[in-house]
Structure 1
Amino acid sequence: MTARIDARFAALKAENRPALVTFVMAGDPDMETALEIMTALPAAGADLIELGMPFSDPMADGPAIQKAGLRALHAGQTLAKTLNTVRRFREGDQATPVILMGYFNPIYVYGVDVFLQAAKAAGVDGLIVVDLPPEMDDELCLPALASDIAFVRLATPTTDDRRLPAVLKNTSGFVYYVSITGITGSAAPDAGKVEAAVGRIKRHTDLPVCVGFGVRSPEQARAIGSGADGVVVGSALVNAIAETLDAEGRAGPATVGAVTGLVEALAAGVRAARLAEA
């Protein structure tokens, strides 16, 4: 499955442009609408998709993504249904990499070996599990790699050069650089500092480096994309969903279009990031 991620970044490198990585929560606001949104993302300009696994105690997520997870859980979303969402997505798209993002508890309860087997069968390419440090690689990271599922690690502004080799040791697919300290969606990143941080990480690894947390606009996507291999947008997309829901939290006729419209604008920003260099 890592081949799909590698192929996508190789193609983007040939185009001399960064990736647009879009995050949406599985089952938000309901399973069918979430699948419709996910299915529409590649045509709107998403190069990779991060699909959130709803969890009741998302410690690293800001209010927008927390609410999205709660909406999904209230609508009956489970980890099994999330895997089924990927399976149904793959019926029409065999090219776009899909990375599941979330926390270890639901996977542990599901059973690591059973989960990895089901994830691979569904068409999952990678995992981002934010509460498993390198010291716990035996729990999920190494079994995932043995199953040919990438394990994407987070690096942050506080990950210094002494810590970085441990973080990168078993990382595959790409490195996710968290551009700010704090929770998702809490502040805007500084493009200059991000570019310097990406350069430092690249001195330690040949993997692509994608930058997330705080990117909301096409202008920010362009600025961050000029110094990174990918730009990750999540909270802004989740907010776009939330703003279209009715008083009972149900999707409306504008829900899917609100997300795809924003993705199209962000994709234009990302694609403009390297024009000056061409």
Structure 2
Amino acid sequence: MAERKAGGMSVFKNATIAMADVLGSRNYIKNAGKDPKTDAERHYAEMLHNLMADAVSLFEDSEDISLKAFSDNFIIYSEDNSPNTAKRIVQGMAGLQYNAICKYGLLLRGGITEGKMYWSEDGAYDDFVTGKALLRAHELESEIAVYPRIIVDGPVADKIDAGGLVVRNENIFFINYLTYTKLQETSDSPAPYAEDSPYENGGMIADHASALKKHVSEDLGLNIKGHEWDSIRDKDVWALAYHNYFCGRHSADAYRIDFSETYDDTDRIVIRIEDGNSDGGRVQRRRFPGG
């Protein structure tokens, strides 16, 4: 349904929508402002701007898919609810997750769903979006995802031929975003999404491993303790364990990241990347859920 308004065209109909949030923005911006000489706050804003440009590039061949961004949030949606469009959105979000960590050291969390949405086009208020689908996508991101993963709502997961593109764990579906690296091997076949298929694109998975190690190291330097630190560490542990899960499923053990959790001098539980000589610390290493 569409009707002409003074501000342009408004649309209210079923849509497929993805919403993603950059984890850690509050801490980064808060800490960046402490040293005006570094211009870190401006640098962070430019990273988010460049990530949005990456999103535009990932969906540039999809005229029926729209993108919006505010602060550290991204919204991608389409009024085309076909399985093909839903799959293209999932594929694009996989690429966005990969680029976020490998190019900018950022972890994303989000949700993809479908339902009623209202948005405006071609007018003074063409950035306006609302509706139950947006609320559900936000719920998936903020309440269900927990870790740096993008949840795919059941109705969307059920209708796309995802192969290994979506992982199911305890009735929760989320994007297996490292399949983006396999998509780069060939775009002519669904084979890149097959579970347990051999891994060939070592350069991209090696880049992912390096980016994760750097991200964990930078988080380790944060002067944060208590519950807030536990939340940050848990997300990093999940990201590392997910990386290893993917390597294990695709015969890529050479790119695994061996890590453990141990105590630092302030009795924080921290992540240690092992070099082969570590005894693993005093805290048992955890596995990726479902891995």
Q: TM-score, normalised by structure 1?
A: 0.24
Q: TM-score, normalised by structure 2?
A: 0.23
Q: Which one has the bigger strand percentage? A: 2
The higher radius of gyration belongs to 2
